[in-house]
Amino acid sequence: MKTHLILFLLFFIWTSCGNSTKPSASTSIDDDFEILEERLPIADPYILFYEDCYYAYGTNVRGFEVYTSTDLKHWHRNRNLALSPEDSWGNKGYWAPEVYYVESLKKFYMFYTVNEQVCVATSDSPEGPFVQDVKQPLFGSEKNIDPSLFIDSDGKAYLYFVRFTGGNVIWCAEMNSDLKSLKEETLTKCIEAQDEWERKQATVAEGPSILKQNGVYYLLYSANHFESKDYAVGYATSDSPFGPWEKYNGNPILRRDMDQTARLAGTGHGAPFICEDGSYKYIFHAHASEEKVQPRSSYIKDLTLSDKGIVSIHGTVIRPVVVK
Protein backbone atom coordinates (compact mmCIF):
# COMPACT_ATOMS: atom_id res chain seq x y z
CA MET A 1 0.00 0.00 0.00
CA LYS A 2 1.61 3.19 -1.14
CA THR A 3 -1.00 5.85 -0.51
CA HIS A 4 -0.30 9.49 0.05
CA LEU A 5 1.06 11.00 3.25
CA ILE A 6 2.73 13.95 1.56
CA LEU A 7 3.23 14.24 -2.15
CA PHE A 8 6.95 13.96 -2.61
CA LEU A 9 9.28 12.32 -0.09
CA LEU A 10 11.95 11.92 -2.76
CA PHE A 11 15.67 11.96 -2.72
CA PHE A 12 17.95 15.02 -2.71
CA ILE A 13 21.07 16.24 -1.01
CA TRP A 14 21.32 14.77 2.49
CA THR A 15 22.88 11.35 3.02
CA SER A 16 23.95 11.29 6.65
CA CYS A 17 22.24 10.47 9.93
CA GLY A 18 25.20 11.93 11.77
CA ASN A 19 25.78 15.19 13.64
CA SER A 20 24.51 13.64 16.89
CA THR A 21 25.22 14.91 20.36
CA LYS A 22 27.71 13.23 22.63
CA PRO A 23 26.77 13.96 26.22
CA SER A 24 29.03 12.54 28.88
CA ALA A 25 26.36 10.91 31.05
CA SER A 26 24.62 7.63 30.24
CA THR A 27 22.05 5.44 31.92
CA SER A 28 22.51 1.92 30.55
CA ILE A 29 23.79 -0.26 27.72
CA ASP A 30 21.44 -1.71 25.07
CA ASP A 31 23.34 -4.10 22.80
CA ASP A 32 25.72 -1.83 20.88
CA PHE A 33 24.10 1.41 22.06
CA GLU A 34 24.85 3.50 25.11
CA ILE A 35 21.49 4.80 26.28
CA LEU A 36 21.38 8.41 27.40
CA GLU A 37 17.64 8.61 28.02
CA GLU A 38 15.11 5.78 28.36
CA ARG A 39 12.53 7.66 26.29
CA LEU A 40 12.14 9.97 23.29
CA PRO A 41 11.42 13.26 25.12
CA ILE A 42 9.11 15.02 22.67
CA ALA A 43 5.37 15.65 22.52
CA ASP A 44 3.19 16.37 19.46
CA PRO A 45 5.73 14.29 17.50
CA TYR A 46 6.34 13.97 13.78
CA ILE A 47 8.65 11.68 11.77
CA LEU A 48 10.02 12.21 8.26
CA PHE A 49 11.77 9.36 6.42
CA TYR A 50 14.31 10.67 3.94
CA GLU A 51 17.25 8.93 2.25
CA ASP A 52 17.55 5.91 4.55
CA CYS A 53 17.12 7.94 7.74
CA TYR A 54 14.25 8.83 10.07
CA TYR A 55 14.02 12.36 11.47
CA ALA A 56 11.89 13.11 14.53
CA TYR A 57 10.66 16.52 15.64
CA GLY A 58 8.39 17.63 18.48
CA THR A 59 7.21 20.32 20.86
CA ASN A 60 9.95 22.21 22.71
CA VAL A 61 10.31 25.27 24.94
CA ARG A 62 12.44 27.37 22.56
CA GLY A 63 13.20 26.21 19.05
CA PHE A 64 13.04 22.63 17.77
CA GLU A 65 15.44 19.76 18.28
CA VAL A 66 15.83 17.00 15.70
CA TYR A 67 16.56 13.34 16.38
CA THR A 68 17.81 10.81 13.83
CA SER A 69 17.48 7.03 13.64
CA THR A 70 17.84 4.15 11.23
CA ASP A 71 15.74 1.63 13.19
CA LEU A 72 13.02 3.71 14.98
CA LYS A 73 14.17 2.37 18.35
CA HIS A 74 17.51 4.13 18.89
CA TRP A 75 17.64 7.89 18.35
CA HIS A 76 20.53 10.38 18.27
CA ARG A 77 19.92 13.95 19.40
CA ASN A 78 21.58 16.40 17.02
CA ARG A 79 23.97 19.00 18.39
CA ASN A 80 22.21 21.89 16.69
CA LEU A 81 18.59 22.96 16.74
CA ALA A 82 16.64 22.31 13.56
CA LEU A 83 15.04 25.72 14.10
CA SER A 84 16.32 28.30 16.56
CA PRO A 85 14.38 31.29 17.94
CA GLU A 86 16.74 33.65 16.11
CA ASP A 87 15.49 32.28 12.78
CA SER A 88 11.81 32.47 13.67
CA TRP A 89 9.02 34.89 14.44
CA GLY A 90 7.85 34.55 18.05
CA ASN A 91 9.68 33.63 21.22
CA LYS A 92 7.74 31.00 23.19
CA GLY A 93 5.54 27.96 22.87
CA TYR A 94 7.28 26.10 20.05
CA TRP A 95 4.72 23.38 19.34
CA ALA A 96 3.94 20.60 16.89
CA PRO A 97 6.51 20.95 14.07
CA GLU A 98 6.05 18.95 10.86
CA VAL A 99 8.71 18.72 8.14
CA TYR A 100 8.20 17.82 4.47
CA TYR A 101 10.44 17.57 1.44
CA VAL A 102 8.66 19.19 -1.52
CA GLU A 103 10.20 17.94 -4.75
CA SER A 104 8.73 20.66 -6.96
CA LEU A 105 10.40 23.37 -4.85
CA LYS A 106 13.54 21.41 -3.94
CA LYS A 107 13.18 22.46 -0.30
CA PHE A 108 12.31 21.11 3.12
CA TYR A 109 9.39 22.93 4.70
CA MET A 110 8.74 23.09 8.44
CA PHE A 111 5.24 24.07 9.55
CA TYR A 112 4.99 24.81 13.26
CA THR A 113 3.32 26.78 16.04
CA VAL A 114 4.94 29.60 18.03
CA ASN A 115 3.18 32.14 20.25
CA GLU A 116 -0.05 30.32 19.33
CA GLN A 117 0.35 31.25 15.65
CA VAL A 118 1.22 29.13 12.61
CA CYS A 119 4.55 29.78 10.85
CA VAL A 120 6.58 28.17 8.07
CA ALA A 121 10.36 27.96 7.61
CA THR A 122 12.53 26.32 4.96
CA SER A 123 15.87 24.53 4.74
CA ASP A 124 18.05 22.58 2.33
CA SER A 125 18.37 19.76 4.89
CA PRO A 126 15.95 17.87 7.15
CA GLU A 127 18.34 18.65 10.02
CA GLY A 128 18.12 22.38 9.37
CA PRO A 129 18.86 25.09 10.01
CA PHE A 130 15.30 26.06 9.11
CA VAL A 131 14.87 29.79 8.53
CA GLN A 132 11.71 31.85 8.33
CA ASP A 133 12.41 34.27 5.47
CA VAL A 134 9.66 36.71 6.42
CA LYS A 135 9.28 36.73 10.18
CA GLN A 136 5.53 36.84 10.53
CA PRO A 137 2.78 34.25 11.07
CA LEU A 138 0.53 32.96 8.29
CA PHE A 139 -2.43 34.58 10.03
CA GLY A 140 -2.32 37.89 11.81
CA SER A 141 -5.54 37.77 13.80
CA GLU A 142 -7.03 34.69 15.45
CA LYS A 143 -4.87 32.20 17.28
CA ASN A 144 -3.94 29.13 15.21
CA ILE A 145 -1.99 25.99 16.15
CA ASP A 146 -1.10 22.47 14.96
CA PRO A 147 -0.46 22.93 11.21
CA SER A 148 -0.29 19.92 8.89
CA LEU A 149 0.42 20.09 5.14
CA PHE A 150 -1.20 17.91 2.48
CA ILE A 151 -0.35 18.07 -1.23
CA ASP A 152 -2.93 16.36 -3.41
CA SER A 153 -2.27 14.32 -6.54
CA ASP A 154 -3.19 17.33 -8.70
CA GLY A 155 -0.47 19.41 -7.03
CA LYS A 156 -2.81 21.58 -4.96
CA ALA A 157 -1.61 22.11 -1.40
CA TYR A 158 -3.80 22.36 1.69
CA LEU A 159 -2.99 23.33 5.24
CA TYR A 160 -4.97 21.84 8.12
CA PHE A 161 -4.72 23.58 11.47
CA VAL A 162 -6.61 24.41 14.67
CA ARG A 163 -8.43 27.60 15.60
CA PHE A 164 -9.84 28.49 19.01
CA THR A 165 -13.39 29.01 17.76
CA GLY A 166 -15.71 27.65 20.46
CA GLY A 167 -13.04 25.22 21.61
CA ASN A 168 -10.23 23.75 19.52
CA VAL A 169 -11.63 23.31 16.01
CA ILE A 170 -9.85 21.94 12.92
CA TRP A 171 -9.92 24.13 9.80
CA CYS A 172 -8.46 23.86 6.30
CA ALA A 173 -7.37 26.30 3.60
CA GLU A 174 -5.75 25.92 0.20
CA MET A 175 -2.18 27.23 0.00
CA ASN A 176 -0.56 29.34 -2.67
CA SER A 177 2.19 27.76 -4.77
CA ASP A 178 5.00 29.13 -2.59
CA LEU A 179 3.59 27.20 0.43
CA LYS A 180 4.12 30.32 2.53
CA SER A 181 0.71 31.93 2.18
CA LEU A 182 -2.94 30.88 2.12
CA LYS A 183 -5.93 31.49 -0.09
CA GLU A 184 -7.96 32.83 2.81
CA GLU A 185 -11.19 32.78 0.80
CA THR A 186 -10.97 28.95 0.92
CA LEU A 187 -10.92 28.80 4.74
CA THR A 188 -13.27 25.97 5.77
CA LYS A 189 -14.25 24.42 9.10
CA CYS A 190 -13.60 20.66 9.14
CA ILE A 191 -13.87 18.95 12.54
CA GLU A 192 -15.08 19.97 16.00
CA ALA A 193 -15.51 17.92 19.16
CA GLN A 194 -19.13 16.77 19.37
CA ASP A 195 -19.16 13.02 20.05
CA GLU A 196 -19.16 11.59 23.57
CA TRP A 197 -15.62 10.17 23.35
CA GLU A 198 -14.33 13.57 22.20
CA ARG A 199 -15.67 15.52 25.19
CA LYS A 200 -14.40 13.65 28.25
CA GLN A 201 -12.44 16.79 29.19
CA ALA A 202 -12.75 20.12 27.35
CA THR A 203 -14.00 20.77 23.81
CA VAL A 204 -10.94 19.92 21.77
CA ALA A 205 -10.24 18.56 18.29
CA GLU A 206 -6.59 19.05 17.29
CA GLY A 207 -3.43 17.52 15.85
CA PRO A 208 -4.78 16.92 12.30
CA SER A 209 -3.08 14.90 9.57
CA ILE A 210 -4.31 13.65 6.19
CA LEU A 211 -4.05 10.39 4.27
CA LYS A 212 -5.62 9.62 0.89
CA GLN A 213 -6.53 6.28 -0.69
CA ASN A 214 -8.73 5.49 -3.71
CA GLY A 215 -10.02 9.04 -3.89
CA VAL A 216 -11.03 9.15 -0.22
CA TYR A 217 -9.47 11.61 2.23
CA TYR A 218 -8.81 10.48 5.81
CA LEU A 219 -8.45 13.17 8.46
CA LEU A 220 -6.83 11.83 11.65
CA TYR A 221 -7.17 13.98 14.76
CA SER A 222 -6.98 13.95 18.57
CA ALA A 223 -9.74 14.89 21.00
CA ASN A 224 -10.06 15.89 24.67
CA HIS A 225 -7.61 18.07 26.61
CA PHE A 226 -4.02 16.85 26.28
CA GLU A 227 -3.81 16.61 30.08
CA SER A 228 -6.70 14.13 30.14
CA LYS A 229 -6.00 10.41 30.43
CA ASP A 230 -8.69 10.06 27.76
CA TYR A 231 -6.79 12.07 25.14
CA ALA A 232 -7.32 9.84 22.10
CA VAL A 233 -7.20 9.59 18.29
CA GLY A 234 -10.00 9.21 15.77
CA TYR A 235 -10.57 9.91 12.10
CA ALA A 236 -13.14 11.10 9.58
CA THR A 237 -13.49 10.61 5.82
CA SER A 238 -14.54 12.75 2.87
CA ASP A 239 -14.54 12.80 -0.92
CA SER A 240 -13.06 16.32 -0.82
CA PRO A 241 -10.09 17.84 1.04
CA PHE A 242 -12.55 20.44 2.41
CA GLY A 243 -15.17 17.95 3.58
CA PRO A 244 -17.90 17.52 4.64
CA TRP A 245 -16.32 14.96 6.98
CA GLU A 246 -18.00 11.80 8.25
CA LYS A 247 -16.53 10.54 11.51
CA TYR A 248 -15.73 6.83 11.77
CA ASN A 249 -18.28 5.07 13.95
CA GLY A 250 -15.55 2.96 15.56
CA ASN A 251 -13.68 5.96 16.99
CA PRO A 252 -11.39 6.32 18.85
CA ILE A 253 -8.80 4.14 17.12
CA LEU A 254 -6.08 4.90 19.69
CA ARG A 255 -6.86 5.35 23.37
CA ARG A 256 -5.34 4.51 26.74
CA ASP A 257 -7.21 1.24 27.35
CA MET A 258 -6.62 -0.35 23.93
CA ASP A 259 -3.29 -1.93 24.92
CA GLN A 260 -3.35 -2.96 28.57
CA THR A 261 0.25 -4.20 28.43
CA ALA A 262 1.58 -0.80 27.32
CA ARG A 263 -0.03 1.04 30.26
CA LEU A 264 -0.01 4.37 28.43
CA ALA A 265 -2.33 7.26 29.28
CA GLY A 266 -3.06 10.43 27.34
CA THR A 267 -2.26 8.83 23.98
CA GLY A 268 -2.60 11.27 21.11
CA HIS A 269 -1.44 14.12 18.89
CA GLY A 270 0.58 11.93 16.61
CA ALA A 271 1.17 11.62 12.88
CA PRO A 272 1.35 8.80 10.33
CA PHE A 273 4.62 8.40 8.47
CA ILE A 274 5.97 6.28 5.63
CA CYS A 275 8.64 3.72 6.53
CA GLU A 276 11.56 2.50 4.47
CA ASP A 277 9.51 -0.46 3.16
CA GLY A 278 6.58 1.74 2.10
CA SER A 279 4.35 0.77 5.02
CA TYR A 280 2.89 3.21 7.53
CA LYS A 281 3.50 3.67 11.22
CA TYR A 282 2.08 6.19 13.66
CA ILE A 283 4.10 8.19 16.20
CA PHE A 284 2.22 9.68 19.15
CA HIS A 285 2.88 10.95 22.65
CA ALA A 286 1.65 9.75 26.04
CA HIS A 287 1.78 10.98 29.62
CA ALA A 288 4.75 10.35 31.90
CA SER A 289 2.66 7.78 33.80
CA GLU A 290 -0.93 6.91 34.57
CA GLU A 291 -0.75 9.43 37.44
CA LYS A 292 1.44 12.20 35.99
CA VAL A 293 1.18 14.16 32.73
CA GLN A 294 4.67 15.64 32.31
CA PRO A 295 7.16 15.01 30.90
CA ARG A 296 5.45 13.46 27.89
CA SER A 297 7.28 10.94 25.68
CA SER A 298 6.74 9.53 22.19
CA TYR A 299 5.87 6.00 21.09
CA ILE A 300 5.33 4.25 17.75
CA LYS A 301 2.78 1.69 16.54
CA ASP A 302 1.77 0.21 13.19
CA LEU A 303 -0.86 1.96 11.10
CA THR A 304 -2.82 0.28 8.33
CA LEU A 305 -5.47 1.51 5.91
CA SER A 306 -7.43 -1.53 4.73
CA ASP A 307 -8.95 -2.17 1.30
CA LYS A 308 -12.31 -1.47 2.95
CA GLY A 309 -11.11 1.96 3.98
CA ILE A 310 -10.65 1.31 7.70
CA VAL A 311 -7.74 2.98 9.50
CA SER A 312 -6.28 1.06 12.44
CA ILE A 313 -3.40 1.74 14.82
CA HIS A 314 -2.19 -1.52 16.27
CA GLY A 315 0.68 -3.87 17.03
CA THR A 316 3.40 -3.91 19.64
CA VAL A 317 4.38 -0.45 20.80
CA ILE A 318 7.93 0.71 20.01
CA ARG A 319 9.46 2.59 22.95
CA PRO A 320 12.20 4.79 21.46
CA VAL A 321 15.31 5.70 23.47
CA VAL A 322 17.99 8.37 23.04
CA VAL A 323 21.48 6.95 22.54
CA LYS A 324 25.01 8.28 22.36
Q: Is 4 inside a domain boundary?
A: no
- Domain harbouring 200, CATH code: 2.115.10.20
Residue 220 inside a domain? The answer is: yes
Number of domains making up the chain: 1
Query: Is 47 part of any domain?
Result: yes
pLDDT at residue 260, as a whole number: 72
Give a yes or no: residue 6 inside a domain: no
CA distance 121 to 1: 31
Q: Is residue 9 part of a domain?
A: no
- Residue 19 covered by a domain: no
CA distance 158 to 160: 7
pTM for the predicted model, two decimal places: 0.91
Strand 144-151: give its sheet, edge to edge: 144-151, 157-164, 168-174, 188-191
Let me know if residue 300 belongs to a domain: yes
Residue 220 β-bridge partners: 209, 235
Per-residue pLDDT of the chain (324 residues; tens, 9 = 90+): 434 444 333 333 333 454 444 333 444 556 689 999 999 999 999 999 999 999 999 999 899 999 999 999 999 999 999 999 999 999 999 999 999 999 999 999 999 999 999 999 999 999 999 999 999 999 877 899 999 999 999 999 999 999 999 899 999 999 999 999 999 999 999 999 999 999 999 999 999 999 999 999 999 999 999 999 999 999 999 999 999 999 999 999 999 988 776 789 999 999 999 999 999 999 999 999 999 999 999 999 999 999 999 999 999 999 999 999
Burial profile 141-175: b = 16 or more Cβ within 10 angstroms, e = fewer: eeebbbbbbbbeeeeebbbbbbbeeebbbbbbbbb
- Domain presence at residue 121: yes
- Domain with 50 in it: 28-323
